[in-house]
């Protein structure tokens, strides 16, 4: 119960103010717990983020996978993969996961996050193979790079609307840069 409240508070703090906002005093204040109680559950900010990733990433990945399962063609699966990830950018769970840099996490935590992302990439390999890619795993990693760039563009709050960024990203991954 308290662990869940702390994680929810951490999501809110990261979503509202980024990494700097996630402090143990802020967690204690947000939850009404004593600061010492926060330390009973987590040894560091990185430990909080690691647990957020462990809890939230599978939910997020399942949403992407569900969107892909509803699609009927390889192209539609790829579009669903891109769009659902970009739709989730504003979600507190996603914002919390990306708000803190991987350099603040220990090697074990970074490896867990890499493995989780690898699972996400695996979702799209079959669709790329069905389209005739001779290197579907490589194509999947490059496709994810395009998604990651679109995510960063949305998070920056640039001039383009998120829908325009999503449409452009989908067009690029489906048709390449020839437009």
Q: Domain segments of the chain: what residues?
A: 1-42, 45-177
Residues 49 and 62: their CA atoms lie apart, in Å, by: 19
pLDDT of the residue at 102: 47
pTM above 0.85, yes or no: no
What would the CATH number be for the domain defined by 1-42? 1.10.10.60
Q: Write the DSSP string, 6-39.
A: HHHHHHHHHHHH-GGG--HHHHHHHHT--HHHHH
What would the CATH number be for the domain defined by 45-177? 1.10.357.10
Band (pLDDT 50/70/90 cuts) for residue 52 is confident
Residues 34 and 43: their CA atoms lie apart, in Å, by: 15
Same fold for the pair 1-42 and 45-177: no
């Amino acid at each position: 119960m308290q662990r869940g409240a702390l994680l929810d508070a951490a999501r809110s703090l990261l979503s509202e103010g980024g990494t700097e906002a996630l402090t143990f005093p802020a967690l204690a204040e947000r939850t009404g717990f004593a600061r010492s109680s926060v330390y009973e559950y987590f040894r560091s900010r990185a430990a909080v983020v690691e647990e957020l990733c462990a809890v939230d990433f599978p939910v997020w990945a399942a949403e992407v996978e569900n969107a892909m399962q509803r699609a009927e063609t390889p192209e539609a699966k790829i579009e669903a993969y891109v769009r659902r990830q970009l739709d989730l950018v504003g979600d507190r769970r996603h914002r919390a996961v990306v708000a803190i840099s991987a350099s603040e996490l220990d090697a074990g935590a970074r490896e867990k996050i890499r493995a989780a992302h690898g699972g996400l990439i695996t979702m799209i390999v079959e669709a790329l193979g069905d389209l005739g890619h001779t290197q579907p795993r490589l194509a999947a990693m490059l496709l994810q790079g395009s998604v990651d760039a679109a995510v960063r563009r949305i998070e920056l709050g640039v001039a383009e609307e998120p829908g325009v960024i999503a449409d452009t990203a989908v067009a690029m991954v489906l048709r390449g840069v020839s437009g």
